[in-house]
Amino acid sequence: MALSQAIESEVIAICREVLDDPGITIESTSATVANWDSLGHMHLIAALEARYAVELDVLEMAEVDCVEMLIGVVWNALQFARGAVGGGS
């Protein structure tokens, strides 16, 4: 499985667990997931940062209102971390 696909699946799994909704898919949005409120969103940030040992960009996260965007922010953070640590290769 490609890295991006693995991350996508894992982020969806984290969303399902944190927001307590097994029906979450990549198309899910904060409007369609009952527990994706302000507190749920903060829990998501904390869970994703702990899992990937990265800091998600707060300004990027502020724009997030769907799982697909969330995956993008996690991907960016991982790329940034790899660049910072490994010289961007």
Residues of the shown chain interacting with other proteins in the complex, contacts defined by CB under 8 A: 38-39, 41-42, 45-46, 55, 58-59, 61-64
Q: How far is CA 36 from CA 7, 81, 86, in A?
A: 20, 27, 34
Phi and psi based region of residue 56 (left: phi greater than 0; alpha: psi -120 to 50; beta: remaining): beta
Q: Provide, rounded to whole angstroms, the least separation between the CB of residue 54 and other proteins.
A: 12
- The least distance separating other proteins from the CB of residue 87, rounded to whole angstroms, comes to 24
Q: How far is the CB of 1 from other proteins (least distance, A)?
A: 30
Rank residues 6 and 34 by Cβ distance to other proteins and give the closer one.
34
